[in-house]
Protein backbone atom coordinates (compact mmCIF):
# COMPACT_ATOMS: atom_id res chain seq x y z
CA UNK A 1 0.00 0.00 0.00
CA UNK A 2 1.02 3.53 -0.59
CA UNK A 3 1.40 4.92 2.95
CA UNK A 4 4.04 2.35 3.88
CA UNK A 5 6.67 4.45 2.24
CA UNK A 6 5.70 8.10 2.54
CA UNK A 7 9.07 9.45 1.47
CA UNK A 8 9.13 7.25 -1.63
CA UNK A 9 5.62 8.43 -2.43
CA UNK A 10 6.69 12.08 -2.44
CA UNK A 11 9.70 11.31 -4.61
CA UNK A 12 7.49 9.52 -7.16
CA UNK A 13 4.98 12.36 -7.04
CA UNK A 14 7.65 14.97 -7.73
CA UNK A 15 9.00 12.95 -10.65
CA UNK A 16 5.48 12.39 -12.06
CA UNK A 17 4.79 16.11 -11.80
CA UNK A 18 7.89 16.85 -13.86
CA UNK A 19 7.05 14.20 -16.49
CA UNK A 20 3.48 15.43 -16.87
CA UNK A 21 4.56 19.07 -17.11
CA UNK A 22 7.14 18.17 -19.74
CA UNK A 23 4.43 16.50 -21.87
CA UNK A 24 2.42 19.71 -21.58
CA UNK A 25 5.18 22.05 -22.71
CA UNK A 26 7.26 19.84 -25.05
CA UNK A 27 5.11 20.19 -28.18
CA UNK A 28 4.73 23.94 -27.78
CA UNK A 29 8.46 24.35 -27.15
CA UNK A 30 9.50 22.08 -30.01
CA UNK A 31 7.36 23.76 -32.68
CA UNK A 32 8.76 27.08 -31.54
CA UNK A 33 12.28 25.85 -32.33
CA UNK A 34 11.38 24.88 -35.91
CA UNK A 35 11.08 27.03 -38.97
CA UNK A 36 7.51 26.54 -40.12
CA UNK A 37 7.52 25.77 -43.84
CA UNK A 38 4.51 24.78 -45.96
CA UNK A 39 4.72 21.05 -45.04
CA UNK A 40 4.90 21.68 -41.31
CA UNK A 41 2.16 24.27 -41.68
CA UNK A 42 -0.13 21.66 -43.23
CA UNK A 43 0.79 19.13 -40.54
CA UNK A 44 0.00 21.64 -37.80
CA UNK A 45 -3.28 22.52 -39.49
CA UNK A 46 -4.21 18.83 -39.58
CA UNK A 47 -3.16 18.18 -35.99
CA UNK A 48 -6.27 19.28 -34.03
CA UNK A 49 -8.53 17.15 -36.25
CA UNK A 50 -6.18 14.18 -35.97
CA UNK A 51 -6.07 14.40 -32.18
CA UNK A 52 -9.83 14.78 -31.87
CA UNK A 53 -10.59 11.96 -34.31
CA UNK A 54 -8.04 9.62 -32.72
CA UNK A 55 -9.40 10.35 -29.26
CA UNK A 56 -13.06 9.91 -29.96
CA UNK A 57 -13.40 7.15 -32.53
CA UNK A 58 -12.31 4.29 -30.21
CA UNK A 59 -14.71 5.69 -27.57
CA UNK A 60 -17.46 5.51 -30.11
CA UNK A 61 -16.68 1.92 -31.01
CA UNK A 62 -16.11 0.67 -27.46
CA UNK A 63 -18.99 2.63 -25.94
CA UNK A 64 -21.56 0.34 -27.54
CA UNK A 65 -24.97 1.34 -28.92
CA UNK A 66 -25.54 4.01 -26.26
CA UNK A 67 -22.40 5.93 -27.32
CA UNK A 68 -23.21 5.45 -31.01
CA UNK A 69 -26.73 6.87 -30.52
CA UNK A 70 -25.55 9.80 -28.36
CA UNK A 71 -22.63 10.81 -30.57
CA UNK A 72 -24.64 10.40 -33.79
CA UNK A 73 -27.29 12.73 -32.37
CA UNK A 74 -24.53 15.18 -31.43
CA UNK A 75 -23.13 15.20 -34.98
CA UNK A 76 -26.57 15.57 -36.57
CA UNK A 77 -27.58 18.47 -34.31
CA UNK A 78 -24.19 20.08 -34.89
CA UNK A 79 -24.54 19.82 -38.68
CA UNK A 80 -28.04 21.30 -38.59
CA UNK A 81 -27.74 23.91 -35.83
CA UNK A 82 -23.97 24.63 -35.86
CA UNK A 83 -24.01 25.40 -32.14
CA UNK A 84 -21.81 23.02 -30.19
CA UNK A 85 -23.43 23.59 -26.79
CA UNK A 86 -26.83 22.56 -28.15
CA UNK A 87 -25.29 19.60 -29.95
CA UNK A 88 -23.61 18.37 -26.75
CA UNK A 89 -26.78 18.89 -24.72
CA UNK A 90 -28.76 16.90 -27.29
CA UNK A 91 -26.10 14.19 -27.24
CA UNK A 92 -26.15 13.90 -23.45
CA UNK A 93 -29.97 13.81 -23.52
CA UNK A 94 -29.84 11.04 -26.13
CA UNK A 95 -27.36 9.13 -23.94
CA UNK A 96 -29.70 9.49 -20.96
CA UNK A 97 -32.61 8.32 -23.10
CA UNK A 98 -30.65 5.35 -24.40
CA UNK A 99 -29.70 4.47 -20.81
CA UNK A 100 -33.37 4.57 -19.80
CA UNK A 101 -34.10 2.14 -22.63
CA UNK A 102 -31.47 -0.18 -21.26
CA UNK A 103 -28.77 0.42 -23.91
CA UNK B 1 -19.52 35.56 -27.57
CA UNK B 2 -21.02 38.76 -26.26
CA UNK B 3 -18.08 40.39 -24.54
CA UNK B 4 -16.15 42.71 -26.85
CA UNK B 5 -12.63 41.89 -27.98
CA UNK B 6 -9.91 44.22 -26.71
CA UNK B 7 -9.93 47.39 -28.74
CA UNK B 8 -6.86 47.32 -30.99
CA UNK B 9 -6.61 51.08 -30.60
CA UNK B 10 -5.88 50.64 -26.91
CA UNK B 11 -2.34 51.56 -26.13
CA UNK B 12 -0.64 48.38 -25.02
CA UNK B 13 2.23 49.57 -22.90
CA UNK B 14 2.57 46.31 -20.99
CA UNK B 15 4.08 44.30 -23.82
CA UNK B 16 6.86 45.30 -26.15
CA UNK B 17 5.95 42.50 -28.58
CA UNK B 18 3.38 43.84 -31.07
CA UNK B 19 2.03 40.30 -31.66
CA UNK B 20 1.23 39.88 -28.01
CA UNK B 21 -2.45 40.14 -27.19
CA UNK B 22 -3.70 41.46 -23.88
CA UNK B 23 -4.28 39.04 -21.03
CA UNK B 24 -7.45 40.40 -19.47
CA UNK B 25 -9.53 39.29 -16.52
CA UNK B 26 -12.59 39.41 -18.78
CA UNK B 27 -10.93 36.82 -21.04
CA UNK B 28 -9.98 34.70 -18.04
CA UNK B 29 -13.55 34.76 -16.71
CA UNK B 30 -15.01 33.94 -20.10
CA UNK B 31 -12.65 30.98 -20.45
CA UNK B 32 -13.68 29.74 -17.00
CA UNK B 33 -17.40 30.06 -17.84
CA UNK B 34 -17.05 28.30 -21.19
CA UNK B 35 -15.71 25.11 -19.57
CA UNK B 36 -18.72 24.87 -17.22
CA UNK B 37 -20.35 22.14 -19.37
CA UNK B 38 -17.39 19.92 -18.48
CA UNK B 39 -17.70 20.43 -14.72
CA UNK B 40 -20.20 17.60 -14.04
CA UNK B 41 -18.01 15.11 -15.91
CA UNK B 42 -14.80 16.23 -14.18
CA UNK B 43 -16.59 16.19 -10.84
CA UNK B 44 -17.67 12.59 -11.31
CA UNK B 45 -14.17 11.60 -12.38
CA UNK B 46 -12.56 13.46 -9.45
CA UNK B 47 -14.91 11.75 -6.99
CA UNK B 48 -14.07 8.38 -8.47
CA UNK B 49 -10.38 9.22 -8.12
CA UNK B 50 -10.88 10.20 -4.47
CA UNK B 51 -12.62 6.91 -3.79
CA UNK B 52 -9.89 4.85 -5.44
CA UNK B 53 -7.20 6.82 -3.58
CA UNK B 54 -8.89 6.11 -0.23
CA UNK B 55 -9.24 2.45 -1.07
CA UNK B 56 -5.54 2.29 -1.98
CA UNK B 57 -4.57 3.56 1.48
CA UNK B 58 -3.56 7.11 0.59
CA UNK B 59 -4.17 9.87 3.11
CA UNK B 60 -6.49 12.68 2.03
CA UNK B 61 -3.48 15.00 1.98
CA UNK B 62 -1.57 12.68 -0.35
CA UNK B 63 -4.57 12.24 -2.62
CA UNK B 64 -5.12 15.99 -2.97
CA UNK B 65 -1.41 16.69 -3.32
CA UNK B 66 -1.29 14.30 -6.26
CA UNK B 67 -4.23 16.07 -7.91
CA UNK B 68 -2.70 19.49 -7.27
CA UNK B 69 0.73 18.62 -8.65
CA UNK B 70 0.13 16.03 -11.37
CA UNK B 71 -3.31 17.34 -12.45
CA UNK B 72 -3.90 14.60 -15.01
CA UNK B 73 -6.90 12.41 -14.26
CA UNK B 74 -6.18 9.39 -16.42
CA UNK B 75 -2.53 9.32 -15.32
CA UNK B 76 -3.52 9.42 -11.65
CA UNK B 77 -6.07 6.63 -12.03
CA UNK B 78 -3.78 4.39 -14.05
CA UNK B 79 -0.80 4.91 -11.76
CA UNK B 80 -2.84 4.24 -8.60
CA UNK B 81 -4.20 1.13 -10.20
CA UNK B 82 -0.74 -0.23 -10.95
CA UNK B 83 1.09 1.07 -7.87
CA UNK B 84 3.85 -1.43 -7.01
CA UNK B 85 4.12 -3.29 -3.72
CA UNK B 86 7.57 -1.86 -3.05
CA UNK B 87 9.19 1.14 -4.67
CA UNK B 88 12.41 0.23 -6.41
CA UNK B 89 14.32 2.12 -9.08
CA UNK B 90 12.77 -0.22 -11.65
CA UNK B 91 9.22 0.18 -10.37
CA UNK B 92 9.57 3.98 -10.22
CA UNK B 93 10.88 3.97 -13.78
CA UNK B 94 7.84 1.89 -14.73
CA UNK B 95 5.47 4.42 -13.12
CA UNK B 96 7.16 7.28 -14.95
CA UNK B 97 7.12 5.47 -18.29
CA UNK B 98 3.40 4.81 -17.86
CA UNK B 99 2.88 8.47 -16.93
CA UNK B 100 4.69 9.62 -20.07
CA UNK B 101 2.80 7.20 -22.30
CA UNK B 102 -0.63 8.09 -20.96
CA UNK B 103 0.08 11.81 -21.22
CA UNK B 104 2.00 11.76 -24.51
CA UNK B 105 -1.04 13.10 -26.35
CA UNK B 106 -0.34 16.45 -24.67
CA UNK B 107 2.84 16.77 -26.73
CA UNK B 108 0.58 16.95 -29.78
CA UNK B 109 -1.97 19.15 -28.06
CA UNK B 110 0.80 21.53 -27.01
CA UNK B 111 2.05 21.68 -30.61
CA UNK B 112 -1.36 22.93 -31.75
CA UNK B 113 -1.06 25.84 -29.32
CA UNK B 114 2.10 27.26 -30.91
CA UNK B 115 0.14 29.03 -33.69
CA UNK B 116 -2.27 30.43 -31.09
CA UNK B 117 0.10 31.49 -28.30
CA UNK B 118 3.45 31.74 -30.11
CA UNK B 119 3.46 35.53 -29.98
CA UNK B 120 3.04 35.61 -26.22
CA UNK B 121 5.91 35.98 -23.74
CA UNK B 122 7.34 32.68 -22.52
CA UNK B 123 7.11 33.77 -18.89
CA UNK B 124 3.33 33.83 -19.27
CA UNK B 125 2.82 30.89 -21.64
CA UNK B 126 4.83 28.26 -19.76
CA UNK B 127 3.02 28.75 -16.43
CA UNK B 128 -0.29 28.72 -18.35
CA UNK B 129 0.62 25.35 -19.89
CA UNK B 130 0.73 23.81 -16.40
CA UNK B 131 -3.08 24.10 -16.51
CA UNK B 132 -3.40 22.59 -19.98
CA UNK B 133 -6.15 19.96 -20.09
CA UNK B 134 -8.53 18.93 -22.84
CA UNK B 135 -11.64 21.04 -22.07
CA UNK B 136 -9.88 24.45 -22.18
CA UNK B 137 -7.88 23.25 -25.18
CA UNK B 138 -11.07 22.38 -27.07
CA UNK B 139 -12.72 25.64 -26.04
CA UNK B 140 -9.62 27.61 -27.03
CA UNK B 141 -9.52 26.06 -30.51
CA UNK B 142 -13.15 27.11 -30.87
CA UNK B 143 -12.53 30.57 -29.39
CA UNK B 144 -9.57 31.32 -31.67
CA UNK B 145 -11.40 29.99 -34.74
CA UNK B 146 -14.15 32.51 -33.97
CA UNK B 147 -11.63 35.34 -33.79
CA UNK B 148 -10.97 35.46 -30.03
CA UNK B 149 -7.42 36.54 -29.19
CA UNK B 150 -7.17 36.88 -25.41
CA UNK B 151 -4.63 34.31 -24.14
CA UNK B 152 -6.10 34.53 -20.62
CA UNK B 153 -9.11 32.64 -22.02
CA UNK B 154 -7.28 29.29 -21.90
CA UNK B 155 -5.77 30.06 -18.50
CA UNK B 156 -9.26 30.76 -17.12
CA UNK B 157 -10.57 27.45 -18.42
CA UNK B 158 -7.55 25.59 -17.08
CA UNK B 159 -7.78 27.11 -13.61
CA UNK B 160 -11.51 26.33 -13.43
CA UNK B 161 -10.79 22.69 -14.31
CA UNK B 162 -7.92 22.61 -11.80
CA UNK B 163 -10.04 23.87 -8.91
CA UNK B 164 -12.80 21.40 -9.79
CA UNK B 165 -10.39 18.48 -10.12
CA UNK B 166 -8.61 19.09 -6.81
CA UNK B 167 -11.60 19.94 -4.62
CA UNK B 168 -14.07 17.35 -5.92
CA UNK B 169 -11.75 14.51 -4.92
CA UNK B 170 -12.66 15.32 -1.28
CA UNK B 171 -16.27 14.07 -1.30
CA UNK B 172 -15.17 10.98 -3.21
CA UNK B 173 -12.44 10.28 -0.67
CA UNK B 174 -14.67 10.86 2.36
CA UNK B 175 -17.93 9.34 1.20
CA UNK B 176 -16.85 6.74 -1.32
CA UNK B 177 -18.50 6.60 -4.72
CA UNK B 178 -21.91 7.61 -3.41
CA UNK B 179 -22.73 9.20 -6.72
CA UNK B 180 -25.53 8.32 -9.04
CA UNK B 181 -24.39 6.42 -12.12
CA UNK B 182 -23.03 9.14 -14.45
CA UNK B 183 -24.27 7.09 -17.40
CA UNK B 184 -27.83 7.74 -16.28
CA UNK B 185 -27.55 11.40 -17.30
CA UNK B 186 -25.10 11.00 -20.14
CA UNK B 187 -22.46 12.90 -18.14
CA UNK B 188 -19.74 10.44 -19.11
CA UNK B 189 -20.30 11.28 -22.79
CA UNK B 190 -20.16 15.09 -22.51
CA UNK B 191 -16.45 15.20 -23.32
CA UNK B 192 -16.64 12.77 -26.29
CA UNK B 193 -19.71 14.70 -27.50
CA UNK B 194 -17.71 17.93 -27.48
CA UNK B 195 -14.98 16.17 -29.41
CA UNK B 196 -17.36 14.98 -32.14
CA UNK B 197 -19.12 18.36 -32.25
CA UNK B 198 -15.72 19.98 -32.86
CA UNK B 199 -15.09 17.55 -35.73
CA UNK B 200 -17.97 19.00 -37.74
CA UNK B 201 -16.39 22.43 -38.42
CA UNK B 202 -12.97 20.75 -38.81
CA UNK B 203 -14.28 18.57 -41.64
CA UNK B 204 -13.38 20.32 -44.88
CA UNK B 205 -14.32 17.67 -47.43
CA UNK B 206 -12.43 14.41 -47.99
CA UNK B 207 -9.49 15.86 -49.91
CA UNK B 208 -8.71 18.39 -47.21
CA UNK B 209 -9.36 16.15 -44.21
CA UNK B 210 -6.79 13.38 -44.60
CA UNK B 211 -5.48 14.07 -41.11
CA UNK B 212 -8.85 13.47 -39.59
CA UNK B 213 -9.62 10.34 -41.62
CA UNK B 214 -6.20 8.73 -41.18
CA UNK B 215 -6.14 9.70 -37.50
CA UNK B 216 -9.47 7.98 -36.90
CA UNK B 217 -8.59 4.83 -38.86
CA UNK B 218 -5.10 4.49 -37.38
CA UNK B 219 -6.40 5.01 -33.84
CA UNK B 220 -9.12 2.44 -34.35
CA UNK B 221 -6.73 -0.14 -35.80
CA UNK B 222 -4.18 0.41 -33.03
CA UNK B 223 -6.85 0.18 -30.35
CA UNK B 224 -8.14 -3.03 -31.88
CA UNK B 225 -4.70 -4.61 -32.25
CA UNK B 226 -2.86 -3.44 -29.14
CA UNK B 227 -5.32 -1.89 -26.67
CA UNK B 228 -3.89 0.38 -23.98
CA UNK B 229 -3.06 4.00 -24.70
CA UNK B 230 -1.02 3.64 -27.88
CA UNK B 231 -3.99 4.43 -30.10
CA UNK B 232 -3.89 8.11 -29.15
CA UNK B 233 -0.26 8.51 -30.11
CA UNK B 234 -0.34 6.36 -33.25
CA UNK B 235 -3.59 7.98 -34.41
CA UNK B 236 -2.47 11.58 -33.95
CA UNK B 237 1.00 11.04 -35.43
CA UNK B 238 -0.39 9.18 -38.45
CA UNK B 239 -3.10 11.81 -38.93
CA UNK B 240 -0.67 14.68 -38.66
CA UNK B 241 1.71 13.09 -41.19
CA UNK B 242 -1.19 12.41 -43.56
CA UNK B 243 -2.18 16.06 -43.23
CA UNK B 244 0.84 16.95 -45.41
CA UNK B 245 -1.16 15.65 -48.37
CA UNK B 246 -4.18 17.85 -47.72
CA UNK B 247 -5.12 20.15 -50.56
CA UNK B 248 -4.71 23.78 -49.63
CB within 8 Å of A9: residues ≥ 6 apart: A2, A3, B62, B87
Q: Are A83 and B197 in contact (CB under 8 A)?
A: no
Partners of residue A33 in chain B, C-beta under 8 Å: none
Average pLDDT over residues B179-188: 77
CB–CB contact A23 B183 (8 Å): no
CB within 8 Å of B90: residues ≥ 6 apart: none
Between A58 and B180, name the one with better pLDDT. A58
CB–CB contact A29 B211 (8 Å): no
As a whole number of angstroms, the distance between CA B2 and CA B18 comes to 25
In the stretch 160-199 of chain B, residues with CB closer than 8 A to chain A read 183-190, 192-199
In the stretch 8-37 of chain B, residues with CB closer than 8 A to chain A read 37
CB–CB contact B199 A19 (8 Å): no
Between B192 and B179, name the one with better pLDDT. B192
As a whole number of angstroms, the distance between CA B34 and CA B27 comes to 10
Q: Are B26 and B5 in contact (CB under 8 A)?
A: no
Tell me what pLDDT residue B57 has.
Answer: 87
- pLDDT tens for each residue of chain A, 103 residues long: 555 677 889 999 999 999 999 999 999 999 999 988 989 999 999 999 999 999 998 888 888 899 999 999 999 999 999 988 899 999 999 999 999 998 7
B187-238: pLDDT as tens digits: 888 889 999 998 998 898 888 999 999 999 999 999 999 888 889 899 999 9
Tell me what pLDDT residue B9 has.
Answer: 41
Tell me what pLDDT residue B178 has.
Answer: 53
CB–CB contact B79 A16 (8 Å): yes
The mean pLDDT value of chain B amounts to: 88
Instruction: Give the residue from chain B lying closest to A95, CA to CA.
Output: B186
CB–CB contact B189 A70 (8 Å): yes
Question: What ipTM was assigned to the predicted interfaces of this complex?
Answer: 0.86
Q: Would you list the domain boundaries of chain B?
A: 25-197, 203-248
Amino acid sequence: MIEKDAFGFFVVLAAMTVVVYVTRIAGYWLIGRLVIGPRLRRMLDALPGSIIAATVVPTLVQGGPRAVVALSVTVLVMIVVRRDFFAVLAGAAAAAGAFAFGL
Amino acid sequence: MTSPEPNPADTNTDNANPDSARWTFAGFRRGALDVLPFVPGITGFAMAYGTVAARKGMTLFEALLMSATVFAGVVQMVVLDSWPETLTVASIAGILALTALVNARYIMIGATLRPLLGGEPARKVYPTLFFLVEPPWLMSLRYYSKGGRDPAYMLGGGVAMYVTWVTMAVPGFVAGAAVANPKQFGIDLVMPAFFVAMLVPLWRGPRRSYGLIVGAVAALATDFLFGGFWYLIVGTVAGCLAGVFNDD
